[in-house]
Structure 1
Amino acid sequence: MASVLIIDDDDMVRTMLLRTVTRGGHEAFGARDGVEGMTRFRDHPADLVITDIFMPNQEGLATIMELRRVKPDLKIIAISGGGARASLDVLPVAEALGAQRTLRKPFTPTEVIEAINDVLGL
């Protein structure tokens, strides 16, 4: 069982991901943005972080960079629907910054579990 931190400002997406990860047999906890996510990570380091890209306070790319500084070998999955800038594809940038996998919203629970298992080598 892995510990998974989910960072997403959309309550519905975060709740769906928390349920999916828990049903997949892992411990899951959430945060609403990168600032809260980094606080939660420092208090309770996770094996894997799933982070949205477009969020208030601290967006996902900055969060990925900060996570890499804190724990260089951390497993990260970046997610994005493009937000208000739906035509802007930043998932390749997330990969360049250290995300092992990316998922484009909308995604299915099965896709989430497959990505988690792939990143964790399960």
Structure 2
Amino acid sequence: MATVVIAEDDAALRGLFTRVLTRAGHHVDACPDGGSALARVRDHRPELVLTDVDMPPGMSGLDLLAMIRATPDLAPIPVIVTTGGHLDSDTAAALGATLLLRKPVSPHDLTAHVDAILAVEPTTCS
């Protein structure tokens, strides 16, 4: 069972992602914004982060991604970014995202991608 931190400002999507990943056997720590997600990532060193790109002012998903990648002991953590906007996969990868998922994300696709990433990218954060 992996720990996944979710940063999603939409409460309905945050709840859906939490239910889907919990049913898949993961421990989920869901946050409504990038700032609280970063605090959880620093405190708990999850095996994976799932973040929305566009969140309220303060810390966007891309800001969260940049902070994770800029912190040596957090940088190995895989980060999936989700968007309903115009961000493309190449740009997301160049910014350090492990994967870009377009909204709406089906529960099956979310679980499949999370499980695949966790199977091939074990993190060594401690």
If the length of structure 1 is used for normalisation, what is the TM-score?
A: 0.89
CA distance in 1 between counterparts of 2:78 and 2:87 reads 21
Please name the residue that 2:105 is paired with: 107
Aligned to 1:5: 5
Q: Does 1:30 align with 2:30?
A: yes
Cα distance in 2, alignment partners of residues 48 and 69 from structure 1: 16
Q: Take 1:93 and 1:3, find their aligned partners in 2: how far apart are those partners?
A: 26
Structure 2: which 5+ runs fail to align?
121-126
Give the superposition deviation at 1:100.
1.2
1:20 aligned residue:
20
RMSD: 1.3
Amino acid corresponding to residue 36 of structure 1 in structure 2: S
Q: Does 1:43 align with 2:26?
A: no
Q: CA deviation at 1:90?
A: 4.6
Identity value in percent: 35
Give 1:91 deviation, angstroms: 4.5
* Runs (5+) with no aligned partner, structure 1: 83-87
Number of equivalences: 117
- Farther-moved stretch of structure 1 (66-75 vs 8-17): 66-75
| 2:69 alignment counterpart | 68
CA distance in 2, matches of 1:118, 1:102: 14
1:92 Cα deviation (Å)?
3.2
Secondary structure, counterpart of 1:121 in structure 2: helix
What per-residue deviation string (whole Å, max 9, x for no partner) do you get for residues 11-62 of structure 1? Answer: 0000000001100111001111111111121222211000000001211111
